[in-house]
């Protein structure tokens, strides 16, 4: 399986008035994420399935990725919490994208590649940091410690590929 882990694009700032789950993408975040998706399109990446969290910014990011989609999108609350075995068990397809949030994506990446959870008690990952709209591309069997890191791309790199 080729697994593409995406952090959602830039979202509105946190506000005491609205729940975190309802924060939408900014216009800048939307435009930049779309350019990043076009970078993957230039690399001829086609996705069988996109799994995303039910939080608005993740939904909107997954919609922008759908230009690469040859299958369906799946909403799962498992991408809005620390990674679990259940998340790995639901994955189907050869080229699959996950759109979620920090610090859980870094934790998932460390678990898949190194076989260890990367999240510290303060909710941070000590060595992996997804920028908003960033991508980690891993391949292999979706099991702890069984996947290989193919690329860890900041959003700027994907946007540059899209412009070339």
At residue 151, the pLDDT reads 94
**pLDDT band with cut points at 50, 70 and 90 for residue 83:** very high
Summarised one tens digit per residue, pLDDT across range 98-126 is 999 998 999 999 999 999 886 655 555 55
The arithmetic mean of pLDDT across residues 78-104, rounded, is 96
pLDDT at 121: 54
Average pLDDT for residues 4-20, to the nearest whole number? 90
Mean pLDDT of the chain: 91
Tokens for 101, please give them. Answer: 């949030």
Distances (CA, A) of 38 to 23, 79, 117, 136, 159: 24, 24, 31, 16, 8
Closest CA to 58 of 128, 130, 1: 130
Task: For residues 59 and 75, give the distance between their C-alpha atoms in angstroms, rounded to a whole number.
Answer: 8
Phi-psi region of 61 (alpha: psi -120 to 50; beta: other; left: phi over 0): alpha
Question: What SS3 class is residue 108?
Answer: helix
**Which of 86-90, 98-102, 155-159 has the least mean pLDDT?**
155-159
- The predicted structure's pLDDT at residue 15: 82
Rounded percentage of the chain residues whose pLDDT exceeds 90:
76
Q: Which of 115, 76, 68, 125 is nearest to 99 (CA)?
A: 76
**CATH fourth-level superfamily of 2-90+99-163:** Phosphoglycerate mutase-like (3.40.50.1240)
Q: In 3D, which of 67, 68, 91, 65 has the Cα closest to residue 78?
A: 91
CA angle at residue 137 from 132 to 141, to 5 degrees? 135
* Contact call for residues 157 and 38 (beta carbons, < 8 A): no
Q: Which pLDDT belongs to residue 17?
A: 79
With 80 as the cut, is the pLDDT of residue 162 above it? no
Quickly list DSSP for 42-92. HTT--EEEEEE-SSHHHHHHHHHHGGGEEEEEEE-GGGSSS--HHHHHH--
Peptide bond into 146 cis (omega under 30): no
């Amino acid at each position: 399986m080729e697994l593409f882990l995406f952090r959602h694009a830039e979202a509105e700032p946190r506000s005491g008035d609205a729940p975190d789950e309802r924060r939408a993408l900014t216009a800048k975040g939307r435009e930049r994420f779309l350019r990043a998706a076009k970078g993957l399109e230039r690399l001829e990446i086609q996705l069988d399935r996109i799994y995303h969290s039910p939080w608005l910014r993740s939904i909107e990011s997954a919609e922008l990725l759908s230009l690469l989609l040859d299958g369906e999108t799946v909403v799962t609350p498992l991408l809005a919490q620390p990674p679990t075995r259940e998340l790995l068990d639901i994955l189907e397809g050869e080229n699959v994208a996950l759109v979620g949030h920090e610090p859980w994506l870094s934790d998932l990446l460390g678990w898949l590649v190194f076989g260890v959870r990367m999240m510290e008690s303060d909710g941070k990952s000590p060595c992996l940091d997804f920028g908003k709209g960033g991508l980690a591309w891993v391949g292999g069997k979706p099991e702890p410690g069984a996947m290989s890191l193919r690329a860890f791309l900041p959003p700027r790199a994907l946007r540059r590929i899209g412009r070339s």
